[in-house]
Amino acid sequence: MQDKLLIGSHVSMNKPKYFLGSVEEALSYGSTTFMFYTGAPQNSFRVPLEQCLINEGRAFMKENNIDETKIIVHAPYIINLASPKDETFEMSVRLLKTELVRTSAFGAKTLVLHPGSHVGAGLEFGIDRIAKGLDLALSEVNNDVLIALETMAGKGSEVGSRFEEIAEIISKCAHKDRLGVCLDTCHMSDSGYDIDDIDSLLNEFDRIVGINRVKCLHINDSKNVRGAKKDRHANIGYGEIGYKTLNKYVHHELFKNVSKILETPYIDDLAPYKQEIAMFKNGYVDHWIDEFKK
């Protein structure tokens, strides 16, 4: 169990099987971990925890040797702690608190969060506001869930596309011990980092943020060239990053105990994850999508 490659994808959580269905979906792809939203990512409606078949899902994970402490929850993306609008900021803090509680109810320890967009108020404003929002939520919900700030593509006014910005948020936060980082390969490339030079990139991250902060990896190819700031994920091998580079992150020594999560697009309404995960275990298959479509 120790040396298994920790890899999976994001999966859904829908009625009628909810969390049990999420675990089943993950296993059907050959995953050893997974990521899910505890409700629709784009709204604040949340199915009560009692309805989510959590105990059934946790028992099924145990049976199948999935370490529940490695699974990842993604916070809804309507949360925007950088918003200059008070209502949005307050709603975001409220929702973040709910998500912290919900994450822990599933046995998960990591909640991935987009830092936020300052929508014109400026980077410094955004950073201060995010740190404040994190502290408001973390001081009211005291559990063992870590918030992993995701590195962003830099689309629009997104905060957190540079490691320095992530570091500044953490340094301004009073609950530093409860913060981590989620590295997204598509986003880092879109933001302008040369992610193929993995040693330099990780050294830079270590110097600025600290490599021990990495709690999750999002493994995505990118439809756009480095620096494009577009945030369009591509299937593995079908983007500008390529399998060889992505494979270095998946198998890196430093990330042995870090969950690697695919968020690549569906192909003709079908999830590509079984094939993509298999390729990270067994090697790349040229033109695999042609075969997939048959």
Partner in contact with 102, chosen from Fe ion, Zn ion, none, beta carbon below 5 to 8 Å by kind: none
CB 91 within 8 A of CB 65: no
Binder among 218, 246, 258, 277 for Fe ion (CB under 5 A)? 218
Binder among 25, 158, 168, 184 for Fe ion (CB under 5 A)? 184
Q: How far is the CB of 236 from Zn ion (least distance, A)?
A: 15
Which one, 20 or 95, has the nearer CB to Fe ion?
A: 95
Cα dihedral value 135, 128, 178, 11, nearest 10? 100
Which one, 132 or 155, has the nearer CB to Zn ion?
A: 155
Residue nearest to Zn ion (CB): 231
Partner in contact with 223, chosen from Zn ion, Fe ion, none, beta carbon below 5 to 8 Å by kind: none
Contact segment (CB under 5 A) with Zn ion among 94-102, 159-167, 226-234, 248-256 equals 226-234
Q: How far is the CB of 151 from Fe ion (least distance, A)?
A: 8
Binder among 231, 250, 275, 279 for Zn ion (CB under 5 A)? 231
Which one, 25 or 231, has the nearer CB to Zn ion?
A: 231
Which one, 33 or 185, has the nearer CB to Zn ion?
A: 185
| CA of residue 165 relative to chain centroid, distance | 18
CB 219 within 8 A of CB 177: no
Partner in contact with 218, chosen from Zn ion, Fe ion, none, beta carbon below 5 to 8 Å by kind: Fe ion
Q: How far is the CB of 231 from Zn ion (least distance, A)?
A: 5
Q: How far apart are CA 193 and CA 64, in angstroms?
A: 37
Contact segment (CB under 5 A) with Fe ion among 38-46, 49-57, 137-145, 211-219 equals 211-219
Phi, psi of 225 (to 5 degrees): -70, 160
Which one, 155 or 274, has the nearer CB to Fe ion?
A: 155
Q: Would you count residue 233 as binding Fe ion (CB under 5 A)?
A: no
Partner in contact with 221, chosen from Zn ion, Fe ion, none, beta carbon below 5 to 8 Å by kind: none
DSSP string for the chain:
-TTS--EEEEE---TTTHHHHHHHHHHHTT-SS-EE-SS-TTS-----GGGS-HHHHHHHHHHTT--GGG-EEEPPTT--TT-SSHHHHHHHHHHHHHHHHHHHHTT--EEEE--EE-TTS-HHHHHHHHHHHHHHHHHH--SSPEEEEEPP---TTEE-SSHHHHHHHHHH-TTGGGEEEEEEHHHHHHHT--TTSHHHHHHHHHHHT-GGGEEEEEE-EESS-TT-----EE-TTSSSS-HHHHHHHHT-GGGTTSEEEE-PPPBTTB--HHHHHHHHHH---TTHHHHHH-
Contact segment (CB under 5 A) with Fe ion among 13-21, 94-102, 181-189, 276-284 equals 181-189
Which one, 53 or 159, has the nearer CB to Fe ion?
A: 159
**Number of shown-chain residues binding Zn ion (CB under 5 A):** 1
Which one, 112 or 138, has the nearer CB to Zn ion?
A: 112
Which one, 231 or 276, has the nearer CB to Zn ion?
A: 231
- Name the residue with tokens 């490695």: 70
Where along the sequence are the contacts to Zn ion (CB under 5 A)? 231
Where along the sequence are the contacts to Fe ion (CB under 5 A)? 150, 184, 218
